[in-house]
Structure 1
Amino acid sequence: MPLDSLHLDAVSVVTNIYRVAQGLRNKMEREVLSTHGLSWTSFSILYDLWIWESVETKKLAELTAVSKATISNITKTLERKEFCYRKTDIRDRRITYVTITDKGKEIMEELYPQFHKGEIEIVSSLTVEEQKNVSEILRRVIRENKF
């Protein structure tokens, strides 16, 4: 591909989205999640369970954008920590639900305020209006690409 045919604005946007996403993930894992032995994905799963209480593994895979096999491995680890438990649907044994435990809820109630503080820090150089604009634009990219 000839260099003069590159869409540099598109390259810049995608590269910057990637760098922000990686930076956010690394910062949160290092400064917040590591104290509880959680990865970004395990926190994302626990967060979804905290919000919804019980979620089918297939839906968890969609929400966190990982494979069902990854969900299975991470939920096994979260089960060992007693943050959740898995239960097979009695009507259809192919369906498994993951449910947060009281211990999982306690961890999230302790962890989320620290996590939210990190979210605020990451965008602190932007005005509220800029934050709304960035959010709106990113939602449009997500929607149009069905992410």
Structure 2
Amino acid sequence: MILIHSFNENGELLPEEIDTINQLTKLPIDSLHLDAISVVTNIYRVAQGLRNKMEQEVLSEYGLSWTAFSMLYDLWIWESIETKKLAESAGVSKATVSNITKTLERKELCYRRIDNRDRRITYVALTEKGKQVMEALYPQFHKGEVEIVSGLSKDEQKSMSNLLRKVIRNNHF
């Protein structure tokens, strides 16, 4: 309990963090980095919460999963993307991109095209209908983004963005 007290001197840990620390401190690990555990666990919980909230409150109306939306968003921003880069950006495999692309093609939101110079390369591009869907959907999605961080001041939001960018750069995410 001394370990938890020193880590939690301001009483700011979530109950789930306390349970996690209590369990992990039983392991025979020489050097347990509680701050690292807390950061990674909380990033994961925020990411899952964000995903669930947006799928339930915004994306379900359009019949889109988080990954399908992520792909459409990338296509909306860049218009056409090679499938390998789309997979990297969405954090999924090329097979997943292929499966979701098939679904989005059936909804007439995107289409595939083969590179004329190298037939091994496939691009995915947004259709006009896909563009219209994103233009209607994004304002609702953005409202959700604003709600999620509404408990943070503008300075806290900027600070968090800067810290997360640092993690992204350091890990080449």
Q: Is this a same-fold pair by TM over 0.5?
A: yes
Show the counterpart of 1:116.
142
Matched, 1:28 2:47: no
Matched, 1:69 2:102: no
Matched, 1:137 2:163: yes
C-alpha RMSD of the superposition: 1.0
Show the counterpart of 1:41.
67
In the superposition, the TM-score normalised over structure 1's length comes to 0.97
- Structure 2 residue matching 1:44: 3-state secondary structure: helix
1:4 deviation in Å?
6.5
- Based on CA coordinates, which of the two structures has the bigger radius of gyration? 2
1:54 aligns with one of 70, 80, 85: 80
In 1, Cα distance between the equivalents of 2:38 and 2:58? 29
Show the counterpart of 1:128.
154
1:3 deviation in Å?
5.6
In the TM superposition, 1:84-123 aligns within 5 A as 84-123=110-149
Q: Report 1 or 2 for greater relative contact order, CA contacts < 8 Å, sequence distance ≥ 6.
A: 1
Q: Which runs of 5+ in 1 are unaligned?
A: none
Could you report, residue by residue, the CA deviation over 1:89-113 in whole angstroms, capped at 9, with x for unpaired residues? 1221110011100100010011000
1:2 deviation in Å?
2.0
Q: How many residues align?
A: 147
In 2, Cα distance between the equivalents of 1:67 and 1:4? 36
In 2, Cα distance between the equivalents of 1:99 and 1:11? 39
Show the counterpart of 1:82.
108
Runs of 4+, deviation exceeding 3 Å: none
User: Which amino acid in the other structure matches residue 29 of structure 1?
Assistant: E
In the superposition, the TM-score normalised over structure 2's length comes to 0.83
% identical aligned pairs: 76
Could you report, residue by residue, the CA deviation over 1:90-143 in whole angstroms, capped at 9, with x for unpaired residues? 221110011100100010011000000000000000000000000000000010
